Structure 1
Amino acid sequence: MNYRPLIFILISAVALTALFVVLKPAPKSPIQQEPTVNRGKTNAAPERSARRFELVIEGGALASGPRRIEVQQGSAIEIKVITDHADELHLHGYDLKLQLTAGEPATLAFSADHSGRFGLELHHSHGEIATLEVMPTP
């Protein structure tokens, strides 16, 4: 019996498996993104490319600022929030939270890495105050 074809197939399979293991791309690890929170004034130099938005909340509703925040995917975002009562702001889809203290400005800074439409909601008031729309990069 001739074993040459069988040995050739076996060596080829081992070589292909070795090449696959060596050349396959590394899996992307999920990175837990933590928001940057600034209370009041800061001396740190702001990012030049960050898109900045200011929201003023009175009585659990948006009193001033954009109801819809529209940005391109990959943009650096800073959302400054001023409220007349203590609450917690949630950015759904990104799972980011920001503690709000009455009369003190707070800033949520993050990178808009996920495309889609995401609600900005006050936790205790259970009201959506704005929507973040992240447009996919072309």
Structure 2
Amino acid sequence: MNFRAILFILISAGALALLFIVLKPTPQPSIVQGISAENDAANTESLPANKPIAIELIIESGVLTSGPKRIQLSQGSEIIITVTSDQRDELHLHGYDHTLQLIPGEPAKLLFTASHSGRFGLELHHAHGELAVLEVSPRP
């Protein structure tokens, strides 16, 4: 082989290695992501998987007025959901069959480990409305 061919191969290999390093995806931690119709980016929060994830929901007249509409996390994550409502109701987390009695003006807490993956609705029983969804991704 001549000098030009060797030089071309070395430069090409170096360029490919540099592109691989620059474009390689980074692993992402578990996230809690609140999505609202107004502004998706403003409601995104990232937290490491080894810490309990704290979510606060505020409900007025049976409608979620504060807090994420979509909560994303990894299977095995621990989560604490604090709910404050202006009306008496019962919050139900489908798929996990957890319920939370809501008393007007009093924060109620639901602590659990996201043991199985899937998409699960958080629903008010008396108001008959879905407030938010919990999306649990399988362990890698």
Is 1:110 paired with 2:135?
Answer: no
Q: Which runs of 5+ in 2 are unaligned?
A: 1-49
Point out 4+ residue stretches in structure 1 off by more than 2 angstroms.
none
Structure 1 residues 9-62: Cα deviation after superposition (integer angstroms, max 9, x where no partner):
xxxxxxxxxxxxxxxxxxxxxxxxxxxxxxxxxxxxxxx821000000001010
2:55 maps to which of 53, 56, 59: 53
- Corresponding residue for 1:136? 138
Matches of 1:85 and 1:132, distance apart in 2: 23
TM-score (norm 1): 0.65
Is 1:123 paired with 2:125?
Answer: yes
Q: Which runs of 5+ in 1 are unaligned?
A: 1-47
- Corresponding residue for 1:72? 74
Q: Which has the higher contact order (CA 8 A, sep 6+)?
A: 1
Structure 1 residues 93-121: Cα deviation after superposition (integer angstroms, max 9, x where no partner):
00000000000000100000010000000
Matches of 1:79 and 1:54, distance apart in 2: 6
- Corresponding residue for 1:28? none
TM-score (norm 2): 0.64
Query: Counterparts in 2 of 1:20-31, with a 5 A limit?
Result: none
Matches of 2:104 and 2:116, distance apart in 1: 30
Identity %: 63
Structure 1 residues 42-88: Cα deviation after superposition (integer angstroms, max 9, x where no partner):
xxxxxx82100000000101000000010100000100000000000
AA aligned to 1:82 is T
Q: CA RMSD in A?
A: 0.9
AA aligned to 1:51 is I
Q: Which structure has the larger Rg over C-alpha atoms?
A: 1
Equivalent residue pairs, number: 91
